[in-house]
Amino acid sequence: MIGVGVFATLLVIGFVAFLLNRERILKYAVAKVIQKVDNKYPAQLQIGDAQFTDFNTVLVTNIALLPDGQPKLLQIDTVEATVSFRSLFLGRMVFKQFDMANGVITAFKKDSTDNFSFLYRKQASNEPVDTTAKRSNYGTLLNRLIETAFENVPDGVNFRNLGVVFSSDGRVINMQLPTMIMEDGEIAARMTITTDSVTNTMYVKGLIDPDEYLLSAKMYGDDQSRTIEVPYIQQKFGATMRFDTLSLSITDKVFKNNQLTIRGESSAHGLVLNHPKIADENVTVQNGALKYKITLGDHYYALEPESEVRINKAVFYPELTYETRPNRKIGIRINSPEIPANDLFASMPPGLFDTFQGMKATGSFTYRLNFYVDMARVDSLKFESDLDATNFDITDFGQHDLRKLNTEFTHSVYENGKVVRTFAVGPSNPNFTPYNQIPDYLKYAIMTAEDPRFLTHKGFHDGAFRHSLITNIKENSFVRGGSTISMQLVKNAFLTRKKTITRKVEEALIVWILENERLTSKERMFEVYLNIIEWGPNVYGIKEAARFYFSKQPHQLTFEECLFLASIVPKPKQYRTYFNSYGELRAYPRYFFKLISGNMLKRGLISPSEHAGVSPYVNLSGRAGSFIIPKPDTTQVVDTMEMLAPIDLLDF
């Protein structure tokens, strides 16, 4: 009892002593904080006054953070906070609850100068630095930012009239935060963000748990705007993006062996995207979500296999890797679970894949993509793409009937997004040439040059596409295509000529359905192809081409004339440069004649005597001859092998 009494007495004495000296302890703690900032950062922390207003509530006024040699970063009028007594005794100021009023953060960046990066930039040490090594570990940087942010999260917050202004190379972001309340980890805020000419007023609700590195937030527009427009997209990329609701979260963080791994989720509702390279009109995704596992390390970035992308009802599992040292290496893998066909068609966003809007079918799809390239060994590039179906059968073609090739239909030719020519593809058109009236020489020459396996494959030639990728990567531009005749037909018959990202995917899916569902015979597909492709300026179809170049009917064409027509299919408007000032074929078409006729001989499509009799000369007796441009022949035969489509070389 005596011991308990003594202990209680000491507690009372200590408590009274603390009450009598708490102002002195508070000033000591403030001085320690100021000194700590001064030692850790190239900046000065200024605090005008700090005093207790009740038992454990401190009022701090006139707080400012001034980076050395740079404009003021932070100014806060008042902070009223509940302080941990233990932290005061340790010379620290740990806020449990605080009310912040009338503050502004003013950050700027111009070229390589700013007034904020000192907060997360690693301080210089006395150890010698290898200046020859250029290292870039964004994982370490991001981990430092995340830990700094989470370590300074208080238990409760009430922000009033907080502003953030960030200017970077002439552009300004202005955020006004009238209210923000955080209680027991729950966050509720209202803010207005102005970026250039875009102003968004939004609400934010979320949850934060600093101990578990957990953060989630949902943003949505106010009752007036209802949508949030993403800034800078128009100026930077010529695109617009807006959404009704956006959710973001971090659910886990691990930093090990200088690699940061972050798990989380994001989702968007009512997402609208517009960009001419993506689609001709607004693309709308009602529900999209991403579950991600991202790893950032020393010159290494990855979207790990556990990630998941959901677009409406369709689900895919992406895996991306990107290494920058010692060589650039890019890997892409995409796998999907079994997706019901109706779910896939219904998930295609309006504005994309318009051909499939309203289509219905039984069965299901699975998809697999494997792409990998080491930029130091481009020839070893890997590319595999497989779409498989189970019990697939179309029950309703929707807005666009893919069976139209089986009957006469109207075809429109597009250039620069505008219709320049419309004509019937069928017997009612006097320029239509049936398959049996097209010379075999022309059929075989075009198939040999463009797609030797056309009659046997199901629309795709993975080897040709792989070789195209290799050539395009080496040349750092699009110089070679890997399209089969089926793909060229679909591009001409079903799609516009606009080169958008998604058009190629739409083209591939149409080809897959045409070929795998056998909607149209190969003979009919080739017949339509030869009657609608471009052969020159405003020249479409084989009959117009035969007249334009040779004043003949298609069945009257010679072997050399058929070889010439096959040679101009990839670039029909450039036929004028195929001849010199004497009317003779230049090096490239002569080489084409030799290569294609040789391949036709190997396939048994022509006889040895027909091959031996090929002449490197054609006479443009039609109107085309008057448009020839006489120029010196500078074409090198060695270069022509790179100009030819790769398909004709893969089978030998």
Q: Across residues 557-580, what is the average pLDDT?
A: 90
pLDDT of residue 629: 63
Confidence bin at 573 (pLDDT 50/70/90): confident
- Return d(Cα 183, Cα 158) in angstroms, integer: 9
Largest distance between two CA atoms of the chain: 126
What is the spatial distance between Cα 373 and Cα 376, in angstroms, rounded to a whole number?
9
Q: How many residues does the chain have?
A: 652
Torsion angle of C-alpha atoms 515, 519, 525, 529, degrees rounded to 10: -90
The single-letter code of the amino acid at 615 is: S
**Residue 651: is its pLDDT beyond 70?**
no
221/200 Cα distance (integer angstroms):
8
The Cβ of residue 531 has, within 10 Å, a number of other Cβ atoms equal to 23
List the beta bridge partners of residue 82: 57, 97
Amino acid at 354: D
Residue 134: exposure state from Cβ atoms within 10 A (0-12, 13-18, ≥19): exposed
Q: What is the CA radius of gyration of the chain?
A: 35
> CA-CA distance, 631 to 580, in Å (whole number)?
6
Q: What DSSP string describes 51-109? A: EESSSSEEEEEEEEEEETTS---EEEEEEEEEE-HHHHHTT---EEEEEEEEEEEEEEE
582 pLDDT more than 60: yes
Question: How far is residue 593 from each of residues 298, 445, 542, 556, measured CA to CA in Å?
Answer: 52, 9, 19, 19
pLDDT band of residue 501 (cuts 50, 70, 90) is low
CB 308 within 8 A of CB 315: yes
In the structure encoding, which two tokens stand for residue 581, read together? 């000032």
Summarised one tens digit per residue, pLDDT across range 318-360 is 999 999 888 899 999 999 999 999 999 988 887 778 888 889 9
Give the mean pLDDT of 423-434.
94
| 638 — pLDDT class (breaks 50, 70, 90) | very low
Alpha carbon distance 232, 242 (integer Å): 12
CA dihedral for 559, 561, 564, 570, sign (positive or negative)? negative
- Which residues make Cβ contacts (< 8 Å) with residue 20, sequence separation at least 6? none
514: left (phi over 0), alpha (psi -120 to 50) or beta: alpha
pLDDT at 388 over 90: yes
Residue 77 has pLDDT above 50, yes or no: yes
User: Rounded to the nearest 5 degrees, what angle is found at the Cα of 317, between the Cα atoms of 374 and 209?
Assistant: 105
Give Cβ neighbours of residue 338 (< 8 Å, ≥ 6 apart).
364, 365, 366, 390
**Which is higher by pLDDT, 310 or 350?**
310
pLDDT, tens digit, for every residue of 226-249? 788 887 777 777 888 888 999 999
Mean pLDDT taken over the chain: 83
Contacts of 390 (CB under 8 A, 6+ apart): 338, 363, 364, 365, 366
Q: CA 49 to CA 57: how far, in whole Å?
A: 14
Nearest to 104 by CA among 37, 46, 160, 154: 160
Backbone angles phi, psi at 334, to 5 degrees: -135, 125
pLDDT at 354: 80
Does residue 636 carry a pLDDT above 70? no
For residue 437, pLDDT beyond 60: yes
**pLDDT (0 to 100) of residue 237:** 77
Question: How far, in Å, are 383, 471, 635 from residue 476 at the CA level?
Answer: 18, 8, 22
What gap in Å lies between CA 250 and CA 267, rounded to an integer? 12
SS3 532: helix
How many angstroms separate the CA atoms of 603 and 598, rounded?
9
* Nearest one of 240, 106, 275 to 174, comparing CA atoms: 106
Q: Are 564 and 542 in contact (CB under 8 A)?
A: no
The structure tokens listed for 545 are 């081409």
Q: Which of 48, 40, 25, 108 is nearest to 72 (CA)?
A: 108
Q: Which residues pair with 534 in a beta bridge?
A: 540
Quote the pLDDT of residue 285: 86
Give the C-alpha separation, 449 to 563, whole Å.
Answer: 10
Per the listing, tokens 């295609």 go with 348
Q: Is residue 500 predicted with pLDDT exceeding 60?
A: yes
Q: For 17-69, how does the pLDDT look when each residue is reduced to its tens digit (9 = 90+)? A: 555 566 777 788 788 888 888 888 899 999 998 888 877 788 889 999 999 98
Percent of the chain topping pLDDT 90: 38
Q: Take residue 230 and report the two structure tokens written for it.
A: 């993403």
pLDDT of residue 552: 94
pLDDT at site 497: 64
565 CB-near residues (< 8 Å, 6+ apart) = 442, 445, 446, 535, 542, 545, 546, 549, 557
